[in-house]
Amino acid sequence: MEHILSEVKNHVAIITLNREASLNAFHYDMLVALQQKIEEVRINNELHAVIFTGSGEKSFSVGADLKERKNLTTGQVLRNLNKINEVFTMIDQLPQPTIAAINGFAFGGGMELALACDFRIAAEEALMGLTETSLAIIPGAGGTQRLPRLIGQAKALELILTARRLHAKEALSYGILTRVVERQQLLSECLAFADRMLANGPIALQQAKFAVKQGMNVDLNTGLQLERKAYEVTLPTEDRMEALQAFSEKRKPLFKGK
């Protein structure tokens, strides 16, 4: 069985975690397969956005496969921890905009995968949280770092230290989610959201994402320099000239990502 499924719709890669019987929990082989798929996406210039979701209707991902972990040595657990951090960092650093389509449970590492994405759209029935402290561990795949950067320190500490599980509308009120939609509309809403971004220049999207994400980690003056460099990347592109031509001709531009 393939642990990771993928398809492409209109320049959007849809990557599906495919261990439905295990609620899409991560084991080592699944992480390796996900890493390989992310690397393929990263270097594919024809892919302009990425959607992550889980197979079935119950779960996006419940995080680490605890049945597997029970039988692992400490060294193997650390191996898995290193791998999940490596993979989620790759997702965080993808040049394309990324969307987590949260179709069900998103706990622990599943929630951390969603936090590694740029946007999170959830079905109304979705339930999510960083629940690791209830298992006497802590979030170890970026949760303690990405969540406070998203919603602030106090709210993040509240959710992490209480291991609280949030319904989708609660997560929306915390600022974790971009929007909440009916389950049957989840994928179509994510695709529509991606299409709204992809109506703009693909290279500009990547450079804007780069400037924002890198700028968040430096002082303002350094961030402004990063923005200038990212802007300069767009100047020699065919897409920029096409935008100017389309404006003068009063039509929609046809961007090619060049």
Active-site residues: which are they?
112, 132
Tokens of 28: 């080592």
Query: Which domains are seen in the chain, by residue range?
Result: 4-198 (3.90.226.10), 202-248 (1.10.12.10)
* Phi and psi, residue 179, nearest 5°: -165, 165
Residue matched to tokens 């991560």: 26
First-last CA distance in the chain: 37
Query: How would residue 182 be classed by pLDDT, with cut points 50, 70 and 90?
Result: very high
How far apart, in whole angstroms, are the C-alpha atoms of residue 195 and residue 12?
9
Query: Higher model confidence: residue 142 or residue 257?
Result: 142
Task: Give the pLDDT mean for 147-158.
Answer: 96
Confidence (pLDDT) at 74: 86
Confidence (pLDDT) at 205: 94
246-252 long-range contacts, CB within 8 A, separation 24+: 252/199
pLDDT tens, 8-18? 998 999 999 99
Strand extents, DSSP E, 18-62: 49-54, 59-61
Task: Give the pLDDT mean for 59-87.
Answer: 87
Task: Give the pLDDT mean for 184-213.
Answer: 94
pLDDT tens, 28-56? 999 999 999 999 999 998 999 999 999 99
Label the pairing between strands 4-9 and 105-107. Answer: unpaired
80: pLDDT strictly greater than 90: no
